[in-house]
Every structure is written in structure tokens, then in C-alpha cells.
């Protein structure tokens, strides 16, 4: 969230004399965790974060530090620090009066949830679409925050960034694998693969035919690797984005997505992950891929 978004919204409200103010929501379900670096002394660096990771963490914190200027923002506790089960999510609303905008009681014509709406004006069914989820994941998120504390989350997050740096360095040493998002300060790495006979170049410099062949190559590699290795629980898992970016000619660029989340992910795991990709790719090129 940048201050300019709020300034622009407010100026448009004034310019067009709107009788309402558009709500700004930030999808910060991953980015929230960098908020823990507020007030962290990067100079003293008591957690021993690697020098390579510090600039990335600082820039990410600066990007999220103005989240208070948004009207609302989201949190997924299971994303990033890898310490809670899935579906432990939360929405933060910065102004209490804005919460009423979510209420189903604003209009008598609005149907609210079928459960217990008659019992209490504070009923949770007034604000939620469903009440079927168990509370275990949410309680796990609370326990995680209490047990890990700021430094625990900071250390887990820093480790993910450190291991991402390691993996990107290993990828950049290979001749037919490359990092598509090398300017990203986060811990997701998008990896481009090309056949062993190909040459790495900017996607916007590729012809439509070259892009389509590279996309077919990545998708065929993933299907083969998933069937022969990943589905058998051998080695690292990853996913594939069918269109990570769009080129000038309108063709989407497929990419492998490396997204570590475990707090136990270490340098050995980083090395094994990239070595597995390299070895599997070599085998695929030699025995499976056909032009």
C-alpha cells in the first residue's frame, strides 16, 4: 500500500463530488508478515540475518509499512512463515465504522445467514458467508503468534528469503534454467526452462513460435516430473504457472514456481531442490523430449 493510492482516491471523490468513498482493500495475505520487521534494528542485526537478505527484507517492509492507509487488508497466517494449518485467515479493517459496510443488516431486503440471526445483534453470522469451518486453524494461528513472537516470525521469514537467494544463485549458474523474477524481494522464485539446444533471451525478443515451444516444453516436463517423481513423494515439490507474464505479442510465459514455506527449509534443502531440477531436466532432455 502506497500513500498515493489514498490520495488519488480522495481526489477523485472530491473532483466528481461522489456521495460515497471507494473502499481500498489490500491483498496482503503474504505481505503481512514483513510487518514484523517494524522497529527491527538491521544495523545491530541480533538475529544474525545474512547481509544478502537484509536489503530485501528492508525493502519489503517499507512496501508494507503504510498498510494503515488502506481501508482493509488481508492476512493468511499459513502463508509465508509456515507455522499454521491452512484456512487460518483474517481481515483487518482500519476504521471501525467501515465494518458496518459488511453488515447484512443494512437493508431489510438483505438475506442474512440462516443460522441464529434472531438471537443476537452481535451474531457472527452477520459478517460471514459460512460458519462451517473448525476453529482449530484459527487457534493455531494465535498460538503461533504467541509462541514465536516477533523474533520467531522474523527469523522464519528471513530464512525463507536467505534460501531463496541461495536457490536463485544456483539457478543462475546453469545454462538452460533462469530466474524470471530476479528483481523480486520475496521468497517465490519463477524459473524458466528451455530445451538444452535453446538459448536464453528476453521473452519479448522471442517469436510466437519460440514462446509456444518453450511453454510446451515446461508443461511437458512438469507432467513427466510429477508422474515419475513428485507423486511418489521423492524430493522437492513445485508447481507451474501457465502464464507468469504476458509478452508484447500477447503470449503468456509459463514458469516453474518455487515457493518454500517450511520454517525447517535449510541450505541443504535449497541445494537438493535445484540439483533435483537440474538432474530431472537432463534426463527429460535425453530420453523424453521430442521437438
Confidence of residue 73 (pLDDT cuts 50, 70, 90): very high
Report which of 245, 249, 243 is spatially closest to residue 208, judged by C-alpha positions.
249
Work out the average pLDDT over 262-269.
93
The fraction of the chain above a pLDDT of 70, given in percent, is: 88
Q: To which residue does cell 523424453 refer? A: 288
What's the confidence (pLDDT) of residue 79?
A: 82
Query: Which of residues 43 and 250 earns the better pLDDT score?
Result: 43
Average pLDDT for the chain: 87
SS3 assignment, position 240: strand
Q: With contact defined as beta carbons under 8 Å apart, do 252 and 188 qualify?
A: no
- pLDDT of residue 290 exceeding 80, the answer is no
> Which three cell numbers, joined as nine digits, stand for 131?
460458519
Work out the average pLDDT over 22-38.
93
What's the confidence (pLDDT) of residue 120?
A: 47
Give the global pTM. Answer: 0.86
Beta bridge partners of residue 179, listed in sequence order: 191
What's the confidence (pLDDT) of residue 125?
A: 56
Query: Which of residues 253 and 96 earns the better pLDDT score?
Result: 253
Confidence of residue 36 (pLDDT cuts 50, 70, 90): very high
The mean-pLDDT minimum among 55-59, 82-86, 131-135 falls in 131-135
Distance CA 114, CA 130 (A): 10
What's the confidence (pLDDT) of residue 179?
A: 95
What's the confidence (pLDDT) of residue 197?
A: 75
The mean-pLDDT minimum among 33-37, 115-119, 153-157, 211-215 falls in 115-119
What's the confidence (pLDDT) of residue 107?
A: 56
What's the confidence (pLDDT) of residue 207?
A: 80
Distance CA 146, CA 135 (A): 17
The 8 Å CB, 24+ separation contacts for 202-205 are 203/245, 203/247, 203/253, 204/247, 204/248, 204/249
Beta bridge partners of residue 177, listed in sequence order: 193
Q: With contact defined as beta carbons under 8 Å apart, do 179 and 189 qualify?
A: yes
Q: To which residue does cell 508484447 refer? A: 248
Work out the average pLDDT over 270-275.
97
25-26 vs 72-76, strand pairing mode: parallel
What's the confidence (pLDDT) of residue 205?
A: 72
> Which three cell numbers, joined as nine digits, stand for 235?
524430493
What's the confidence (pLDDT) of residue 123?
A: 55
Give every CB contact of residue 75 below 8 A, 6+ residues apart in sequence: 28, 29, 32, 89, 90, 91, 92
Distance CA 27, CA 23 (A): 13
- How does DSSP classify residue 78? T
Query: Which of residues 29 and 97 earns the better pLDDT score?
Result: 29
Q: Is 283 left (phi over 0), alpha (psi -120 to 50) or beta?
A: alpha
Confidence of residue 287 (pLDDT cuts 50, 70, 90): very high
Q: With contact defined as beta carbons under 8 Å apart, do 76 and 137 qualify?
A: no
SS3 assignment, position 262: coil
pLDDT digits (tens, 9 = 90+) for 113-162: 555 555 544 555 565 555 567 788 888 999 999 999 999 999 999 999 99
Query: Which of residues 245 and 112 earns the better pLDDT score?
Result: 245
Q: With contact defined as beta carbons under 8 Å apart, do 256 and 191 qualify?
A: yes
Q: With contact defined as beta carbons under 8 Å apart, do 138 and 85 qualify?
A: no
Distance CA 179, CA 199 (A): 14
> Which three cell numbers, joined as nine digits, stand for 116?
441464529
What's the confidence (pLDDT) of residue 117?
A: 52
Amino acid at each position: 500500500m502506497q500513500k498515493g493510492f489514498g490520495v488519488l482516491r480522495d481526489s477523485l471523490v472530491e473532483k466528481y463530488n461522489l456521495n460515497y468513498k471507494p473502499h481500498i482493500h489490500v491483498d496482503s495475505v503474504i505481505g503481512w508478515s514483513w510487518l514484523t520487521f517494524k522497529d527491527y534494528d538491521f544495523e545491530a542485526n541480533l538475529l544474525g540475518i545474512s547481509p544478502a537478505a537484509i536489503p530485501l527484507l528492508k525493502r519489503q517492509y517499507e512496501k508494507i509499512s503504510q498498510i494503515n492507509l488502506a481501508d482493509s487488508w488481508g492476512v493468511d497466517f499459513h502463508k509465508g512463515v509456515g507455522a499454521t494449518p491452512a484456512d487460518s485467515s483474517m481481515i483487518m479493517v482500519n476504521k471501525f465504522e467501515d465494518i458496518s459496510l459488511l453488515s447484512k443488516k443494512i437493508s431489510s431486503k438483505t438475506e442474512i445467514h440462516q443460522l441464529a440471526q434472531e438471537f443476537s445483534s452481535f451474531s457472527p453470522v452477520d459478517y460471514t458467508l459460512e460458519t462451517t469451518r473448525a476453529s482449530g486453524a484459527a487457534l493455531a494461528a494465535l498460538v503461533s503468534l504467541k509462541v514465536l513472537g516477533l523474533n520467531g516470525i522474523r527469523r522464519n521469514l528471513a530464512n525463507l528469503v536467505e534460501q531463496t537467494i541461495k536457490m536463485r544463485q544456483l539457478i543462475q549458474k546453469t545454462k538452460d534454467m533462469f530466474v524470471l523474477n530476479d528483481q523480486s524481494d520475496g521468497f517465490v522464485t519463477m524459473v524458466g526452462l528451455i530445451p538444452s539446444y535453446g538459448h536464453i533471451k528476453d521473452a519479448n525478443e522471442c517469436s510466437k513460435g519460440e514462446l509456444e515451444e518453450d511453454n510446451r516444453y515446461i508443461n511437458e516436463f512438469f507432467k513427466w516430473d510429477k508422474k515419475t517423481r513428485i507423486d511418489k513423494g521423492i524430493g522437492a515439490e513445485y508447481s507451474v504457472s501457465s502464464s507468469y507474464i504476458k509478452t508484447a505479442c500477447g503470449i503468456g510465459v509459463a514458469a516453474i514456481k518455487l515457493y518454500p514455506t517450511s520454517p525447517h527449509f535449510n541450505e541443504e534443502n535449497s541445494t537438493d531442490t535445484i540439483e533435483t531440477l537440474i538432474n530431472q531436466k537432463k534426463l527429460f532432455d535425453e530420453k523424453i523430449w521430442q521437438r
